[in-house]
A and B are shown apart, each in its own frame.
Chain A
Amino acid sequence: MATNPIRVLLAKVGLDGHDRGVKVVARALRDAGMDVIYTGLHRSPEEVVTAAVQEDVDVLGVSLLSGVQMTVFPRILKLLKERGADDMIVVAGGVMPDEDAAALREMGVAAILLQDTPPQEIVDTLRRLVEARGER
């Protein structure tokens, strides 16, 4: 069977300046056999979506701590749709209030993985989401 490893793009959007958490997640995903593209700090939604489309990832993981989730995710989802990439699985990471998480899920964010989610749970969640999406 011709299959690729699960392909994930990890990005940090917003102003907060460290990426230790993202790097830990990147390693956990790699150790689970996934290809992880890391794009660095301070990315804009446009940059993230352009990269995700070129890299044709299964999962776009965006982490933010700076409280801008209610502007960032709607923008990312809109851009993905405009570029015909609405089959991409969008996952949010970081910290946010429950009502925001619920609103984002409503909008189409597939999972919210709050800070301190154990790496194995992240791995399992991504596998489940990609499995549920099926071939593309």
Chain B
Amino acid sequence: MSVRVASAELLARAAAGNLGAAARLISRAEAGAAEARPALAEAYRRAGRAHVVGITGVPGSGKSTLVGRLTHALRATGAKVAVVAIDPSSPYSGGSILGDRVRMSDLATDPGVFIRSMATRGATGGMARAALDAADVLDVAGFDSVIIETVGVGQDEVEIAKASHTTVVVSAPGLGDEIQAIKAGILEIADIHVVSKCDRPDANRTLTDLKLMLALGTADDAPDAWRVPVVGTSAITGEGIENLVDCIQRHRTAVPSDARAARARRIAAFRLEKTAENLLLERFQARFRTHETDRIESLAARSIDPYSTAIDLLNRTLHGGHVHEPLA
């Protein structure tokens, strides 16, 4: 691709299986390029076939290693698997070191596997802004499963549960007494719980504790309600990986169709909310950087106040033309 290829053409090539074109279109989504928006909109309309699986858990819990194993096992069923692996950007430089891929290196040349690393670039919630655009593009490119590995979550970083069909929460033994998922406030978002590193002797206790916690919390006794399974896995022995694949597939097919439709609406609502938020933020920041420097002086001197200045700025951001037009 030595000449600049239009995004619509990239999408057409991606749909025909050209992974380099898919990769380039994902880069344009990351850049928030206005030129790419119609192609990404088209990708959204055409997507919807792939099963989007979110993998989350505290830092170091074994997410990437598990994604590698899971991808292998899904490949063995004949599925094509794409992975979007998210790591944090440095708040100081804006740069990042994206290392998840190192844990998936034995998949490196399988043509049925596509791995893309993404930095958060200041997005909160454990996701990158373009992660869902990437999932659409990869769906259109023919991948049956799209696995999204979030950054190691802390408090309140639960966006993945609003964006995926199946959410897997990973906890590892030996990271302190408390169950990490509870501490991080992510116990409730799991469709499936994984206790990783089950080759370690202290894993049994984590498994027991987690099952106990879930039993205490069970309020939904509807006969067809999904019962959240707890799966112990080890990347070293391979224990539990088949079981996890089975749970993921059951969660996709066993959920009753009205519940599935409700989830699809929830995912769509979240997508709309995030898209609007991102467009607004982008426009706001561009305006802020280029037009507000003179106000800062007065604000610092306290001759104007932040509230009326902000409202004025927001008004001008919203009414100063269409969002897709290049900013003056």
Contact = CB atoms under 8 A, between A and B. Distances in A.
Interface of A: 2-5, 7, 26-27, 29-40, 43-44, 46-47, 50-51, 53-56, 83-87, 135-136
Contacts of B27: 4, 7, 56
A105 B34 CA distance: 37
Given A35-B96, A56-B23, 4 more contacts: A5-B95, A36-B97, A46-B109, A85-B20
B117 A2 contact: no
* 4 tightest Cβ-Cβ pairs between the two chains A and B: A30-B95, A47-B108, A56-B23, A2-B33
Interface in B97-113: 97-99, 101-102, 105, 108-109
Nearest to B102: A40
Contacts of B33: 2
Place the interface of chain B in its size category: 35 or more
Contacts of A86: 2
14 contacts: A5-B95, A26-B97, A30-B93, A34-B95, A35-B89, A37-B98, A38-B98, A38-B99, A51-B101, A55-B23, A56-B20, A85-B20, A86-B2, A135-B4
B90 A56 contact: no
Given A47-B108, A87-B2, A33 B93 contact: yes
Contact of A53 (B20, B90, B99): B20
A51 B119 CA distance: 16
A83 B24 CA distance: 13
A35 B98 contact: yes
Contacts of B115: 51, 54-55
B96 A56 contact: no
Interface of B: 1-2, 4, 18-20, 23-24, 26-28, 30-35, 89-90, 92-99, 101-102, 105, 108-109, 114-117, 119
Contact of A50 (B35, B89, B92, B108): B108
Contacts, number: 102
Given A37-B98, A40-B105, A53 B19 contact: yes
Contacts of B109: 44, 46-47, 50
Most chain A CB atoms below 10 A, which of B18, B26, B94: B94
A37 B102 CA distance: 9
Nearest to B100: A37
Nearest to B13: A84
Given A33-B93, A54-B116, A56-B26, A2 B1 contact: no
Contacts of B89: 35
A53 B23 contact: yes
Contact of A54 (B2, B93, B95, B114): B114
Nearest to A80: B20
